[in-house]
Chain A
């Protein structure tokens, strides 16, 4: 555990390496400023012991000027330190964000799924911010407190070695108090975080299920649930606050007890001539200085606790290596007469877990339309996701043009494929920008042709700005069905050799769906098309239909072959078509 932590720190600090100069110089200037500050009580002691005791007004004035001078120089030092801290921490944060984003981009779907998009977003933004703050505070404040404490102890030693024992004792007591209070309040703050998540969960559920809540008129019940969560949060927060609120009173108490000790033992020492009055004042001043710097310690500890949690989350992402790599793969040339796509007896499981696809063996020749059908969790999407190598098989091989997909450079492999995902992701920019995603050289004619095939030309032409229409974030200014057709068109602009429609016509009405399939067949002659669907009607005219059931290909063939030979296929088809009597089906399903 401890070793782990060290490994972590070491790795994240590599992002500081470009800012080594700032990282070292920042605290150095802070140190200089602290040293100057430590002279102040000594000078004040001189004013008392030499100036006042000797009645020397010029001396007092000169010392006063010296104090102002020191403060001015100190200001210069501390501004330098602040600048270094800002530059170093912002630079660190920027580099870390770039590295994270780049890394996330390189992750395969398997790793990406593990984190989820929203968690990755928080890690890149919120968590890095937290780390950035911690770096700045480390340079600006964390170095200052120990300097001042140690410096004060040293100065007290110079003034009176015997009385410095009081300082040491106070320092130790403060450290112990800090440790006790912090080690008790930090776990409470973690609990607070958990309770806050509960509060958010209730809100989330209520927003997602607002229709159900209102249909049952359960607003009052939900308010009570929220009330409970909120009350529990405020209770835990109050307890955590009560513990950490001890910090300042306790340190103040320790410091002032030390002051009493300094007064008494200082008096004793002065009486035997070992110390002057002004020096006692100086010692008291040093103690005050310590207590002033301690105030920030509590805040620092909170900042660092948060940062260490953030650091762990950031590291977790960076430590996740991508499982899909094309390092060292050179351009490959297709094997002649090979199948366009071949699943060579493959098996596949997510994250090495249970197989979601087992022993699938099928060859698809160029130009074929392939239908993939099966219930939820049957592995339909997984199967087609293997072709662009979003995931790697655990057994066997997927071949495109006779070559194992793992031997391709990813850009070459994916360049052959027009992939249309389940989720219709469009991006900010104009429609034209979106259409040119896979083919930046495409002209408007090519784009319009693709839109026509995708049955999107009509509504795009009807837009006042046509292809210049601005797509808002996520494409919210288009309906679900329109988005699907646009994403299909986007894939076609690439002139792909293989088109994969991963359940991506689900929002189309049947007439449009039919027109789309007709257009795909007539306009893209040499193109191999995979249609993943839950609708039997969408795939019934495919050249080959692959029927999946719990990851096993229980039927491969045409509609008419399968309707005779494949039980699962028949079940799906009949359940979706007019099948008359429900009881008949019930009987077959129970056999």
Chain B
């Protein structure tokens, strides 16, 4: 939580490190910005000179006037050209830097321990790689174009003004910081209102999420009135904090504009007085004329404009910094320890030895304690217990999604921590009830575990998993793109089976469907499971008595721990939890 306190400067610096690979563009942007500003600042000088040749009736020097008019054209065109180039550089820099940042965040996600991903809201993580990074690119772009240009404009204008008349320039220099002062004063005072507003917004989202998520319940219990009242009270709090935040931030612009108007008036008066009383005062050469004065007036406008814009940019930058803090805190989450030095090639036979394993997600609540299990190649282990009893915990340890706290898990006598995670995992085929397919073709989804699989191999695997039938019925066959709802739950599971059929790993982790699948598909899945388990060490989360009875060993889990193990008849004879479960579920339960 301390990260929130990290100063803006540190965050900003860190954003800038992402722009390093694009330093060329950064330098170009800077050069183009200077060129464009210099040309842009020459314009008022030329205009002022031109005006001095328009003095009165019959007193206009047309040859000179024409010279200046013609001279203006390339200057203006050049300034526009360089400004556009500057924008392009900034564009490319900002979007590329943010793309890199986004990729960095995603890379970290793919290497994070599951303990983080399991316990953090996915929506929040998604927002960080999506919307939040977008805010950073907006901020970066604004900062690049506006601040960059702004700073060069301010500096160059000062130089130009001092070159023309140091006295008037001095007036401007003394007065303008006023507008900065006013702006920062307001912004500082407003921070707490912004904070209050975003807190209220968070509160509101939470409330809506909870009540809309349970809308059925709200209606069933007739709680519409109460839920609306709750909403209204949060909403009215949001109104007050929103009103304050918005009004205070809206103060900045008029106030700085007021300061600018004063600067403008002072320049006009000072210029006028100098022109009348002592035209050479403060001038390095020549005299103060109407044309010169108009040059100054244009300068004073140009000079103050960046200050106005900066306050707008500050807002955007604050958003960007807040977003960057969220993204960086994601990036800073620790990732799994590097295992690239470990053994990477490993093909198991399928003997597993679990030796005195202790494990818990939360050190205050011990879960698995002193768990021992020996499995030899080809055995079937059934895991039974009520849903939510912790079968995922067991899978988490087998696949090394989580590391054990104490003890060890060995495959073929080899501690699984002595090989790379990917080498271990390649030996398992895992099919869970909540099937996972990604947005892509059926072919790509099946060949997920073996990218170089031939069409024949894919079709053969699909046939083994009895999904060739329904796939060929699709208009595009194996090229059909999978949408979220184009397949039934059973079909999705069959595709996942086909995926494993293709890789043929020596060990399996299967999750028997409860009954969310229709009977016929269910039979196909059972058959496919049976084919797969042939000769392979298998762990089955079992619901079916035939599976349980046929298992070489049954693990009974309850509340996250493995409380009993043995064969069906052994467990029945001990009369423990399994005995109760068995009677409730299968023996017909005499009510």
Contact = CB atoms under 8 A, between A and B. Distances in A.
25 contacts: A51-B276, A67-B268, A70-B261, A71-B258, A71-B262, A72-B258, A199-B102, A203-B126, A211-B395, A211-B401, A216-B448, A223-B103, A233-B99, A252-B79, A253-B80, A273-B57, A278-B290, A284-B298, A414-B222, A415-B222, A473-B209, A481-B387, A494-B221, A509-B558, A578-B586
Nearest to B521: A375
B428 interface: yes
Contact of A48 (B47, B110, B290): B290
A180 to B, nearest CB: 15
Contact of A509 (B98, B250, B385, B589): B385
Interface in A34-75: 40, 44, 47-48, 51-53, 55-57, 60-61, 63-64, 67-68, 70-72, 74-75
Interface in A516-574: 517-518, 521, 534-535, 537, 540-541, 571-572
A194 interface: no
A237 interface: yes
A104 B76 contact: no
Given A117-B215, A207-B117, A281-B294, A223 B110 contact: yes
Interface string A68-92: 1011101100110011011101110
Given A75-B254, A87-B243, A200-B129, A230 B99 contact: yes
Given A264-B69, A388-B220, A589-B523, 18 more contacts: A48-B293, A90-B239, A106-B224, A109-B215, A205-B439, A218-B448, A218-B449, A234-B99, A242-B91, A245-B88, A257-B76, A270-B55, A376-B516, A423-B216, A425-B210, A438-B220, A535-B515, A577-B586
B250 to A, nearest CB: 4
Pairs A-B, 6 closest by C-beta atoms:
A509-B386, A425-B214, A71-B261, A217-B422, A64-B269, A209-B436
A396 interface: no
Interface string B46-62: 01001101111111101
B247 A83 contact: yes
B472 interface: no
Contacts of B223: 437
Interface residues of B, number: 163
A90 B243 contact: yes
A509 B425 contact: no
A267 B227 contact: no
Given A203-B106, A215-B399, A421 B83 contact: no
Nearest to B400: A214
B20 to A, nearest CB: 17
Interface string A202-246: 111111111111111111011100110011011001100110011
B580 A511 contact: yes
Interface in B280-325: 290, 293-294, 297-298, 301, 305, 309
Contacts of A415: 222
B356 interface: no
Interface stretch (A158-166, A303-311, A579-587): A579-587
A70 B262 CA distance: 10
Contact of A94 (B236, B277, B388): B236
A579 to B, nearest CB: 7
Interface stretch (A9-17, A95-103, A336-344, A359-367): A95-103
Interface stretch (A119-127, A146-154, A327-335, A450-458): A119-127
Interface in A147-200: 196, 199-200
Interface in B94-114: 95-96, 98-99, 102-103, 106-107, 109-111, 114
Contact of A71 (B50, B210, B265, B293): B265
A75 B51 contact: no
B225 to A, nearest CB: 9
B246 A78 contact: no
A67 B275 CA distance: 19
Contacts of B352: none
A52 B239 contact: no
Interface string B541-581: 00111100100000000100000000000000000000011
A541 B586 CA distance: 14
A490 to B, nearest CB: 8
Contacts of B23: none
B487 interface: no
Contacts of A136: 246, 250
Contacts of B91: 238, 241-242, 245
Contacts of A7: none
B337 interface: no
B585 A537 contact: yes
Contact of B387 (A231, A480, A537): A480
Interface string B210-243: 1111111111111110011001100110110011
B584 A511 contact: yes
Contacts of A200: 126, 129-130
Contacts of B84: 245-246, 249
A571 B422 contact: no
B208 A249 contact: no
Contacts of B515: 375, 534-535, 572, 575-576
A177 to B, nearest CB: 12
Contacts of B275: 52
Given A56-B276, A427-B211, A203 B109 contact: yes
A121 B201 CA distance: 12
User: Which of A210, A540, A585 has the most B CB atoms < 10 Å from its CB?
Assistant: A210
Contact of A537 (B227, B276, B558, B589): B589
A55 B92 CA distance: 54
A541 B591 contact: yes
B388 A121 contact: no
A580 B264 contact: no
Contacts of B206: 428, 473
Given A60-B273, A270-B57, A534 B514 contact: yes
A211 B257 contact: no
Interface in B30-55: 43, 47, 50-51, 53-55
B174 interface: no
Contacts of B220: 388, 390, 414, 417, 419, 421, 438
Nearest to A235: B95
A513 interface: yes
Contacts of B209: 117, 121, 473
A70 B261 CA distance: 9
A71 B265 CA distance: 9
Nearest to A572: B519
B527 interface: yes
Contacts of A75: 254-255, 257-258
A316 to B, nearest CB: 16
Contacts of A260: 69, 72-73, 76
Contacts of B134: 196
B453 interface: no
B262 A421 contact: no
B110 A277 contact: no
